[in-house]
Every structure is written in C-alpha cells, then in structure tokens.
Amino acid sequence: MSEEITYASAGVDTEAGDKAVELMKEAVRASHTSAVVGGVGGFAGLVDVSALKDYRRPLLATSTDGVGTKVAIAQAMDVHHTIGHDLVGMVVDDIVVVGARPLLMTDYIATGKVVPERIADIVRGIAEACTIVGTPLLGGETAEHPGLLAPEEYDVAGAATGVVEADEVLGAERVRAGDVLVAMASSGLHSNGYSLVRRVLQVAGWSLDRDVEELGRTVGQELLEPTRLYTPVCLDLTTRVEVHAFTHVTGGGLAANLARVLPAGLLADVDRASWQVPPVFELVRSLGNVPWRDLENTLNLGVGMIAVVAPDHADEALAAVAGAGVEAWVLGEVREDDGAAPDLRDGDVVRGTKGVQGGAVRLVGSYRV
C-alpha cells in the first residue's frame, strides 16, 4: 500500500482537541474554588478535602447523568453554550437531594469531529453552571469518534461528588405525616422528555424557527431554555428550615420522583390545581394530542424541585425560595396511607417507582392551563 494512513486521515484531529482546551480553559479555571490543587490539563484533577476531617462521619454522594436528546435541538440550532447548564442541573441537583454539598464535577463529550469552537462553547456552559452552584469543574474528556457519530453530532455526560454528614442525610427516613410539599418552579422542559417533544414536532411538521405567540419566542428557543439550577437555594434552605427531603423532578415526572423519597405507610396528596402549567407543556399536549396521563408521567409540567418540610416551617420555606428568585408554592402535604392506595400505578395513585418500594403519591384535581 503506497497511501500513508495517519490518525488525522482516520478522522481524529489531536490538534483540534488541543485548540479546544485552549479556548475553554479560562472558563474552567473560573469554576475552581480554593480547594482545587493544580491547574487544567493534568491526567487527574485534585481537590483538597482536608475539611472532611472535621466531619463526624462524612458520606460521599455521587451522581452521573447526561441531557438526553436535548442535544439534538442544540445541534440543529447550532447553539451550544447552554447545554452545559442542563448537564450540571441533571447531575449536581441530584446529589443535593440528599443534603450533600458538591465537591467536584467532571464531564465527558463524545463527538464525530472536534470543532474547537463548538467544544469550547459546550464546556464553557458547563463551567459557568458549575460556578453558579459553587462546584469546581475538575476535569473532563473530549473523544473524537469518527464513523460512530456524524461530524456535527455529539453527546455529553457528567458526574459529580459531594459530601454530607451521615446523621444529616435527607430522605424518606425523615419524612413524617403532616409534612408540607413546597414546589419550586421549573424554567421549562429542563432536560427530560425530549424524545416525546421532538416526535410531536416532527408529526406536526413544525420547524424549530417557528414563532409561537404564547411562548413569546421560537419553538427552538423555548426548547433550549436551560435547566434551572437548584443547588444554591436547596443548600440555603437546609440552613433555614427543617427540611426532611428533596425530590428532583426529572425523568418519570413529578409523582414518580416524589414517591422515591416517601416511606412506606405515607401518602402525599398533590393538588394539580395548585399551579398553572406553563404554556410549553400545553403546547406539546395539544399539538400532539398527548394524553394528560402520559404528559405527567414524562415531563415536569412546571415543577422542577420539591422540598418536603416540617409543617410549621412551610411559610419560612416559601419565603426563602421566593427570596432566591424562584417561584414557590404549597403543592400538597403528606398523610398516613389509609391502605386504599393500590400497590402499582392505578388511577391517580403512584407508588413503586424507580425500583423504590416506599410511599405513594395521589394526584388530585385538574391542571390549570
């Protein structure tokens, strides 16, 4: 064979990868806290955890996730600087649910072709979001996969680690009858259910650049609205009021995720009429003739995070969340399960979700749109 075969001719451009690092490294450095040891570019990121010596029994909390097919919207619109906020929201806001304070985050990007400016936009978004939630972006990897992904395609994933005192872990063990559910508004679709949303748009023949009066912008702009970051408000809330549990409303919808943090024998009554469903959800429902049951089992419908708080702390919790600039309201309350709720999904009662055999959630009333 006379033809020379190089790594570049096989589709991998290491120089482009190096250029991407140069473009992103200032944003990554800006996310670093005083606990970070070393700079950008090492084989491993280092963080000083000497403070853990002051913990009585520190537990490490970890989570990993991606942003699903929302990346297809970013790629179609050629807008890549916001998807990182979604990644941080999906990962870091999961570990705060147990009361953990995040220590670090890492990311991974796989792409068909490294376009330095595009990769830098993605990572800058991740770093900006990490700065907002006080979590250093400690390391990452960009992998070029020619032949596996098209040149313009990419996927992102991340992982985060946090710490919490063993006797301060939040969750089902703390929840009691009489506790109040404080809802925190979502910023939109967040990063779940995009396969449904994209299918609805495809069948309806709607393009991403279509202006929609009730949204006040194009469909694509609405779908790319970044996931709201709840870590700062949740951590602050735990210092102000008696929080028993949080639940992050992601894949599976409100009821399925709330049931995960309720103990067996308790049931949470959720009033669907306690908030107005944002226009984007009603648009998806009406445009695709999507049943309400399917919609509420897939999308957040306007509720991104729920705090389960002691009843005499509900008003203070509402004020604290609102003071942080996030709309909040009482979603419902927890009560003793009277035994009438079935073991599996039936009617308006949800239990036994995500592999957790715990409490139940009863959805009552009708949504306001």
State which amino acid sits at residue 78.
D
Give residue-wise pLDDT tens across range 21-50. Answer: 676 667 667 677 777 787 666 677 777 888
The pLDDT mean for the chain works out to: 90
Distance set, CA 369 to CA 45, 113, 191, 220 (Å) = 47, 43, 21, 21
Give residue-wise pLDDT tens across range 182-191. Answer: 999 999 999 9
Q: Quick one: which of 256, 268, 278, 254 has its CA closest to 368?
A: 278
Q: Quick one: which of 189, 309, 338, 198 has its CA closest to 250?
A: 189
Q: Return d(Cα 122, Cα 79) in angstroms, integer.
A: 9
Residue-level pLDDT at 345? 44
> What is the average per-residue pLDDT within 125-135?
95
Give strand pairing partners of 182.
307, 330
Residue-level pLDDT at 357? 75
Residue-level pLDDT at 30? 65
Half-sphere exposure for 279 (CA within 13 Å, toward CB) = 10
How big is the chain by its Cα radius of gyration, in Å? 22
Longest pairwise C-alpha distance within the chain = 80
Give residue-wise pLDDT tens across range 236-245. Answer: 999 999 999 9
How many residues would you count in the chain? 369
Bridge pairing between strands 266-271 and 360-364: parallel
Angle between helical axes of 279-288 and 194-204 (0-180°, round to 10): 50
Half-sphere exposure for 88 (CA within 13 Å, toward CB) = 33
Give residue-wise pLDDT tens across range 85-126. Answer: 999 999 999 999 999 999 999 999 999 999 989 999 999 999
Half-sphere exposure for 190 (CA within 13 Å, toward CB) = 28
Least confident of 11-20, 167-176, 265-274, 343-352: 343-352
Give the contacts of 25 (CB within 8 A, at least 6 positions apart). Answer: 40, 41
> What is the average per-residue pLDDT within 229-252?
97
Give residue-wise pLDDT tens across range 319-330. Answer: 999 999 999 999
Residue-level pLDDT at 9? 63
> Is 258 strand, coil or helix?
helix
CB atoms within 10 A of CB 341: 18
Residue-level pLDDT at 44? 75
344 pLDDT exceeds 50?
no
DSSP 8-state secondary structure symbol assigned to residue 54 = G
Residue-level pLDDT at 347? 45
